[in-house]
């Protein structure tokens, strides 16, 4: 079998036939080096270190927001999630590859910290997000004037996360304890269908993609998804994998729940206007009600509980809120800049998109 290809294991119940899952094409020397390393066979006793093959120099010369850097980081993180086609699972904890991943993480985190400035006090940051949640962005654009090809592109971008919702946040659960952990478990339980597998949010998103004529197989559109969308998901995993960033992970997750409900209402209305069927709007209709409840739970049961027992965590949570907003704003600007110019926001347009 070609090591770049394997049969996809679709989300249970996802409509349509499974598509072959392929490892993505490299976008530069960093992602090419990761792919070459992990597809060469099982890891040995010793593998490349962070300076082998000019890695450190390539990272220094590159752009941490760029296509090559973000794909290389995504490939490293995917080994902790669904794995990569044709890649031995032993690479997940290979010391050499972990060192390479850390070389990628440091400049990305530094760039995020710079973009997130100024980090407001926690109470002010939460209040600002509550107000800003009604402001719009891509969801308002799609509701007011978006075309069907733009809505389909939006789902392709979001599929990198929503087809595994909320896997990156699960890393956070063993890192906090007490009432905050119990409340966070309640919220994530809902994300996986609250005991009803057919209602898992990842499955609802797959059904929505199929309703809009898109392939719902996990990872199918990775080659088409640009760096701004990858950065959104990479940030989640970066925070989740590092215990020292657990406060930031709480802030990032809170940012999703605080801002989700109004945007979901706009997206459901947009998709209905653009001809989506019941399956094409159910995912966002479900989030309108669910995330309105989750917003209260995360604010009162997670943030307030954590800061009451550990006041110093407030600064880290506030950074997570600011970081999520900064990375989401870059993604939103990418979409709107392209759509308003009549251009596809994907690296390779869908058949109905502009060439």
Q: What is the pLDDT of residues 125-180, one digit of tens each?
A: 999 888 875 567 999 999 999 999 999 999 999 999 999 999 999 999 999 999 99
Q: In terms of domains, do 104 and 136 share one?
A: no
Report yes or no on 309 lying in a domain: yes
Q: In terms of domains, do 107 and 132 share one?
A: no
Report yes or no on 73 lying in a domain: yes
What gap in Å lies between CA 86 and CA 69, rounded to an integer? Answer: 22
Which SS3 state, helix, strand or coil, does residue 335 take? helix
* pLDDT value at residue 259: 87
Asked whether 330 and 228 are in contact (CB, 8 A), the reply is yes
Which residues, 6+ apart, have CB-to-CB distance to 2 below 8 Å? 86
What is the domain-level CATH number for residue 135? 1.20.910.10
Q: In terms of domains, do 175 and 249 share one?
A: yes
* pLDDT value at residue 280: 98
Asked whether 136 and 145 are in contact (CB, 8 A), the reply is no
For 146, the token pair is 């978006």
Q: In terms of domains, do 139 and 242 share one?
A: yes
Q: Which of 60, 90, 114 is the last residue in one of the domains?
A: 114
DSSP-assigned letter for residue 197? G
pLDDT at 2 over 70: no
Reported as a pLDDT band with limits 50, 70 and 90, residue 327 is very high
| 29-68 pLDDT, tens digit each | 999 999 999 999 999 854 555 555 677 888 989 999 999 9
Please state the separation of Cα 327 from the chain's center in Å: 11
Report yes or no on 352 lying in a domain: no
pLDDT at 6 over 50: no
Q: What are phi and psi of 21, to 5 degrees?
A: -90, 130
Q: In terms of domains, do 132 and 201 share one?
A: yes
Report yes or no on 250 lying in a domain: yes
pLDDT at 17 over 60: no
For a pLDDT cut of 90, what percent of the chain falls above it?
81
Q: In terms of domains, do 84 and 138 share one?
A: no
Q: Name the residue with higher pLDDT: 45 or 267.
A: 267
Give me the domain span that covers residue 132. Answer: 122-340
Q: In terms of domains, do 109 and 126 share one?
A: no
Q: In terms of domains, do 73 and 129 share one?
A: no
Report yes or no on 354 lying in a domain: no
* pLDDT value at residue 135: 65
Mean pLDDT score, 303-321: 96
Report yes or no on 4 lying in a domain: no
| 170-195 pLDDT, tens digit each | 999 999 999 999 999 999 999 999 99
Which residues, 6+ apart, have CB-to-CB distance to 318 below 8 Å? 119, 120, 121, 122, 125, 251
What gap in Å lies between CA 196 and CA 190, rounded to an integer? Answer: 9
Please state the separation of Cα 54 from the chain's center in Å: 29
Q: Which of 50, 85, 114 is the last residue in one of the domains?
A: 114
Q: In terms of domains, do 80 and 129 share one?
A: no
Q: What residue ranges in the chain does DSSP mark as E strands? A: 5-7, 20-22
What gap in Å lies between CA 348 and CA 37, rounded to an integer? Answer: 26
What gap in Å lies between CA 237 and CA 92, rounded to an integer? Answer: 14
Q: In terms of domains, do 206 and 283 share one?
A: yes
Report yes or no on 2 lying in a domain: no
Report yes or no on 164 lying in a domain: yes
Beta bridge partners of 113: none
* pLDDT value at residue 45: 53
Asked whether 216 and 14 are in contact (CB, 8 A), the reply is yes
Q: Which of 52, 87, 114 is the last residue in one of the domains?
A: 114
Asked whether 275 and 149 are in contact (CB, 8 A), the reply is no
Q: In terms of domains, do 102 and 195 share one?
A: no
Q: In terms of domains, do 265 and 302 share one?
A: yes
Residue the block writes with tokens 């057919």: 198
Total domains in the chain come to 2
């Amino acid at each position: 079998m070609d090591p770049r290809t394997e049969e996809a294991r679709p989300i249970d119940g996802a409509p349509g036939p499974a598509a072959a899952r392929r490892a993505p094409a490299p976008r530069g020397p960093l992602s090419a080096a990761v792919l070459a390393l992990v597809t060469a066979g099982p890891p040995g006793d010793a593998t490349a270190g962070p300076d082998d093959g000019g890695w450190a120099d390539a990272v220094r010369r590159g752009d941490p927001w760029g296509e090559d850097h973000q794909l290389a980081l995504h490939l490293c993180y995917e080994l902790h999630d669904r794995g990569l086609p044709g890649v031995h699972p032993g690479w997940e904890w290979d010391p050499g590859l972990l060192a390479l991943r850390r070389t990628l993480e440091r400049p990305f985190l530094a760039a995020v910290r710079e973009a997130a400035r100024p980090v407001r006090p926690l109470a002010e940051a939460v209040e600002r997000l509550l107000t800003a949640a009604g402001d719009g962005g891509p969801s308002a654009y799609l509701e007011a004037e978006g075309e069907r090809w733009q809505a389909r592109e939006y789902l392709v971008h979001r599929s990198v996360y929503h087809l595994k919702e909320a896997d990156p946040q699960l890393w956070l659960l063993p890192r906090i304890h007490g009432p905050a952990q119990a409340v966070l478990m309640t919220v994530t339980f809902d994300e996986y269908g609250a005991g009803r597998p057919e209602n898992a949010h990842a499955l609802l998103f797959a059904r929505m993609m199929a309703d809009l004529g898109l392939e719902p197989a996990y990872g199918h559109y990775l080659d088409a998804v640009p760096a701004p969308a990858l950065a959104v998901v990479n940030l989640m995993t970066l925070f989740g994998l590092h215990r020292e960033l657990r406060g930031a992970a709480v802030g990032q997750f809170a940012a999703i729940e605080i801002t989700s409900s109004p945007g979901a209402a706009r997206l459901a209305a947009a998709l209905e206007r653009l001809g989506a069927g019941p399956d094409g709007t159910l995912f966002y209709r479900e989030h309108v009600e669910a995330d309105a409840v989750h917003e209260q739970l995360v604010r009162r049961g997670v943030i307030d509980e954590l800061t009451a027992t550990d006041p110093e965590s407030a600064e880290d949570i506030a950074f997570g809120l600011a970081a999520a907003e900064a990375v989401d704003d870059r993604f939103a600007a990418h979409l709107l800049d392209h759509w308003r110019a009549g251009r596809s926001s994907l690296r390779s347009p869908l058949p109905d998109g502009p060439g």
